[in-house]
Chain A
Amino acid sequence: MRGPRPYTLIAELTYRCPLRCPYCSNPTEPAPGDELSAGEWGRVFAEAEALGVMQVHLTGGEPLVRRDLEALVRAARGRDLYTSLVTSGLPLTRERARALAAAGLEHVQLSVQDVDEPRAARVAGRPAHEAKLRAAAWVKEAGLPLTLNAVLHRENIDRAAEFVALAERLGADRLELANAQYHGWALRNRAALLPSAAQLDAARRVAAEAKARLAGRLEIVFVTPDYHAGRPKACMGGWAQSFLHLTPTGVALPCHAANSIAGLRFPSVREAPLAAIWHDDPSFRRFRGHDWMPEPCRSCPGRHADFGGCRCQAFQLTGDASAADPACELAPAHHLVVAARAEASAPGPARRYLHRSLPRAAPPPTEEGVSKRLRRAAPD
């Protein structure tokens, strides 16, 4: 039998982003290093295509902050890759939407944080909603199909119907009502973000009704949070089975959060060919298939459907990346998820967010700054 084939390349072009959403999927402590150049990405696209990749998602951070994005789109299309842009929409202009379409871009996924400016700004850390509405119009005007992506959480999930209405009004082709998953920044903000079971049920009903009503015109995708699922999701279709993820500095991962697992070292495309990484790197082989599984996964009939769930979640909640995904009712650590759910169902005021931030370069030392810091550090 042949080995697994990556169909989709998730290309994180940068971690830079004008927004600071508290559920951002970027790492909480990104490794330093130079972003891959357009030339390096061109080589990666060629290697990815040779490996079997057919779709590429240009994402970030905010990919539009890369001035060479149009060249990257052309390079991807030059390899006949189906090319999507995943964006906040904030830096978009009408001219840039046209230029990207002319370069061969095939689809745009635009995030929205809520359905009006004040609420959206509370999540994004700055006003951006009105700019997103303009961006959506420019995407459609450029003739590109539009997916609206709304990350759902306890403060906005009750407005699922309003998200549907917004998607209809903007002429979107798809709407993703995707509940936040609790890794990285979202895990740090879990108490403020995780919805209750009642909220989730209501939103799921809204989505099902809209899906039936709008079939053929607007596709609705509803994503349940693992914490409320009972059984684990088939995370990434299995570890290193069909998705390949690259960070801005070229580190290859089986999923965006894999870097959070301590003890695994992931290789960079700057040091090895993509095919060698995909097929042979120990990190990609670590959780591939079923052999790594402990009980109760090892003998579970569900293992062929869910591949044991999410390794990153297992590590983040239990400290052991090979443990059963605590989202699963059968997992020894499932009580951690039950406790978080109970907390989410407790009434209470909105909690403060810890917004995503990027580590800043240290400011150049000035005499005033140094003496102030020394005073602060000095004992009384």
Chain B
Amino acid sequence: MTVKTAMTDLRGGPLGPAGDGPGARPAGADRPRLAPGVRLRWDGRDGEYVLLSPERGLRLNETAALVLALCDGVRTVDQILRELAARFPGEPEGRVAREAFDLLADLASRGLVRTEAPQ
């Protein structure tokens, strides 16, 4: 079984394109954290993690939820990617890191993950 991050809209509709502005692309030294008003919640009814934010909810699979759980504002992006790679030693070289980075970039461009210093 391959590890894969996955994210879908809570209501089953299309996720919509992510934004594509400056500041959306995380750098290795950034310390990502969930944006204010965004939290991860376990949905016992469907047995999935949900990322709740103003006006929307995203279903995450376990790998995607793990990536976000590591976004504590202390670890850097590089550290998070290294930790993930270490947790899935059976995966092809670089694959988990690549997927996790894409997920972070996507969530950052949606404003759900912040990479700049807290105000």
A residues with a Cβ closer than 8 A to B are 5, 7, 52, 54-55, 80, 82, 84, 106-107, 109, 143-145, 147, 171, 173-174, 211-219, 221, 234, 237, 241-242
Contacts and interface: CB of A to CB of B under 8 A. Distances in A.
Chain B residues touching A, majority SS: loop
B92 interface: no
B74 to A, nearest CB: 19
A107 B23 contact: no
Interface in B80-119: 108-111, 114-115, 119
A211 B109 CA distance: 10
B11 A237 contact: yes
Contact of A173 (B22, B24, B54, B57): B54
Q: Say which size band chain B's interface belongs to.
A: 20 to 34
A55 B57 CA distance: 9
B36 A173 contact: yes
Contacts of B39: 82, 106
A52 B10 contact: no
Interface of B: 10-11, 13, 18-24, 35-37, 39, 41, 43, 45, 50, 52-55, 57, 108-111, 114-115, 119
Given A147-B54, A237-B13, A215 B111 contact: yes
A84 B57 CA distance: 13
B11 A107 contact: no
Contacts of A54: 10, 41, 43, 50, 52, 57
A7 B57 contact: yes
Contacts of A213: 21-22
Contacts of B41: 54, 80, 82
Nearest to A220: B19
Contacts of B57: 7, 54-55, 82
Contacts of B22: 213, 215-216
A94 B50 CA distance: 32
A111 B20 CA distance: 27
